Amino acid sequence: MSHAPSDTRPRVTLPQLQQWKQEGHPLAMLTAYDAPTALIADAAGVDILLVGDSVGNVCLGFETTLPVTMAMMNHHVEAVARTRPAALLVADMPYLSFHLGVEVTLRNAGGFLQRGAQAVKLEGGAKRLPMVRALVDAEIPVMGHLGLTPQSVNAMGGFKVQGRAEADALAILEDAQALQEAGCFSVVLEGIPADLAARVTETLRIPTIGIGAGLQCSGQVLVFHDLLGLLPQRPAKFVRKYMEGFDLMRDAAARWAQDVRSGAFPGPAESYKLPEEIRPAVASWQPGLRR
């Protein structure tokens, strides 16, 4: 079945994702943080838009995702939701939005749904099961996130590939199983060996979405700005740039600045004209002289 870009493509639903997983149809998920990125990714026909807390690194200048708040996330979720994408819209639960108890978690996640998200994502395994169960009970679809979970940067001692030691690999397999049984509709696998991700994927009924987790996941996710090459720093090993966006956009801005300085911008095509009949009055007007 094709889910190519179309103005009229039907909205992606959870049953549709599950069906694509069963048919072996790989799922494509991209981050979007604002209206332009959402419109572009949706027009490209991606299946899932994630308003990721990576907005903190990518758009807000933070070194980690830890300072990202619900207020910041709500602002970006609303911007993406206003574009009414056909892709499934998933909102990422930021640090501390799901750690303080079930009630706060429900309020935060429910707020995302009231702003137009269709599902939420949260990081972590066994420790998060009470929250996941409560969300699912409250009709809030949940995407899990295992492996290199960026909100655990301090506990992990840096952004390091996870699941290389036997105990860690088995814990990821068990956490994935537990998230599925708690009702998650999908799990992101980030920064783990490809063969471990393949094993997680074959042991689950629900789709896995990989980032730095090899080809054998049910789908893939990338940060859109990484794919576009918009960020000046060296990307992670798992990123493939599909354009050099930073260079292209810098060159466009430099050409515009050059045109401003040389008087080539704006030209007649970018300017407005007075109607012929009022030109004489405007030309003869003098300060202090009233008609």
Residues at the interface with ligand KIV (CB under 6 A) = 31, 50, 52-54, 92, 188, 190, 211, 221, 223
Active-site choice (23, 181, 190, 276) = 190
- Give me the least distance between CB of 198 and ligand KIV, in Å please: 18
Q: Is the Cβ of residue 9 or residue 216 nearer to ligand KIV in the bound state?
A: 216
Which residues, 6+ apart, have CB-to-CB distance to 261 below 8 Å? Answer: none
CB of 219 to ligand KIV, least distance (A): 11
What is the CB neighbour count within 10 angstroms for residue 217?
24
Quote the distance between the C-alpha of residue 57 and its chain's center. Answer: 12
CA R_g for the chain: 24
Whichever of 135 and 221 has its CB closer to ligand KIV, that residue is: 221
Minimum Å gap between C-beta 31 and ligand KIV is 5
Does residue 190 have an active-site annotation? Answer: yes
Q: Which is nearer to ligand KIV, 93 or 140 (CB)?
A: 93
**Shortest Å distance, C-beta 254 to ligand KIV:** 30
Which C-beta is closer to ligand KIV: that of 68 or that of 169? Answer: 68
| 79 and 108 Cβ atoms separated by less than 8 Å | no
State which amino acid sits at residue 57. N
Task: Please give the sequence-ordered ranges of beta strands (E in DSSP) within the chain, or none if there are none.
Answer: 27-31, 48-51, 88-92, 119-121, 142-147, 186-190, 208-211, 219-222
Do 171 and 124 contact (CB within 8 A), yes or no?
no
Please report, in angstroms and rounded to a whole number, the separation of the first and last CA atoms in the chain: 72
Minimum distance from residue 43 beta carbon to ligand KIV (Å): 20
For 211, phi then psi, to 5°, come to: -145, 110
The rounded distance, in Å, linking the Cα atoms of 21 and 9 is 19
- Rounded to an integer, what distance in angstroms lies between the CA atom of residue 223 and that of residue 227? 7
Pairing of strands 88-92, 186-190: unpaired
- Closer Cβ to ligand KIV, 53 or 175, answer by number: 53
Cis preceding-peptide flag for 232 (omega within 30 of 0): no
The answer to whether residues 30 and 47 touch, using CB atoms and an 8 Å cutoff, is: no
Shortest Cβ 166–ligand KIV spacing (Å): 25
Residue nearest to ligand KIV (CB): 52
Q: Which is nearer to ligand KIV, 115 or 225 (CB)?
A: 225
Residues carrying an active site annotation: 190
